[in-house]
């Protein structure tokens, strides 16, 4: 305990000495480029949600999800019918026949659970692929717009933990507009 307290006192003394020395030292001159440095941000989630390519990617994922959901609904109905059959006719079945039906039900239930997991993984993989393509394209657009507008730094709003941002520094709508124009030109 005494050793810990001694170490804490030494660290505190060093911190005080350093802050005093830094306060007395003259401030370094800012480089010319940094004195007029401009910073902007882009809300990538908004670009993904509002750009034509982002909307198209989401719609494609929704169509695939709907197809998978239809198949899962069919499996669920099949399981419900089998469960009802076991409940209604189970008492009339021989023990072997009932055990076979219950085994069949359990097999189909496990298969449906595996299929749901596979569908989920497939959807996540497709979503990553589609969104990664959009993000790569957007990255190029951000770089070009940043250079054209003479920004020294463009950050992603959510990933950079921006505590305050002036609306004037928001390039998101411009990025969406340029990105959509370029996407139309490629078609």
Q: Provide the pLDDT for residue 102.
A: 92
Q: In angstroms, how far is the first alpha carbon of the chain from the final one? A: 71
**What number of other Cβ atoms are within 10 A of residue 58's Cβ?**
16
3-state SS, 47-78, equals HHHHCHHHHHHHHHHHHHHHHHHHHHHHHHHH
36-186 belongs to CATH 3.30.910.20 = yes
pTM above the 0.75 mark? no
- Beta bridge partners, 155, equal 41
Mean pLDDT by 10 residues, the chain (187 residues): 35 32 36 57 89 90 93 94 88 88 93 94 91 86 88 82 72 90 82
Q: Provide the pLDDT for residue 2.
A: 40
Q: Provide the pLDDT for residue 33.
A: 37
Q: Provide the pLDDT for residue 136.
A: 87
Q: Provide the pLDDT for residue 133.
A: 85
Kindly tell me the burial class for residue 137, based on how many C-beta atoms sit within 10 Å of its own C-beta (0-12, 13-18, 19 or more): middle
The residue extents of the domains of the chain are 36-186
- Beta bridge partners, 42, equal 156
């Amino acid at each position: 305990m005494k050793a810990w307290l001694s170490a804490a006192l030494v660290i505190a003394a060093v911190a005080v000495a350093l802050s005093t020395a830094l306060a007395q030292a003259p401030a370094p001159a800012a480089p010319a480029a940094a004195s007029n440095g401009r910073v902007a941000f882009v809300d990538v989630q908004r670009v993904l949600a509002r750009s034509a390519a982002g909307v198209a990617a989401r719609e494609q994922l929704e169509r695939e999800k709907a197809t998978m959901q239809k198949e899962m609904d069919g499996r669920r109905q099949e399981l419900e019918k089998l469960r009802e059959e076991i409940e209604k006719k189970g008492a009339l079945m021989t023990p072997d026949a009932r055990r076979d039906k219950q085994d069949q039900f359990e097999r189909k239930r496990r298969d449906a659970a595996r299929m749901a997991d596979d569908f989920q993984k497939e959807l996540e993989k497709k979503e990553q692929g589609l969104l990664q393509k959009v993000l790569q394209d957007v990255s190029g657009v951000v770089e070009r717009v940043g250079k054209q507008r003479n920004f020294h730094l463009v950050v992603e709003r959510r990933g950079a933990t921006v505590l305050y941002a002036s609306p004037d520094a928001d390039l998101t709508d411009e990025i969406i507009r340029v990105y959509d124009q370029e996407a139309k030109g490629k078609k």
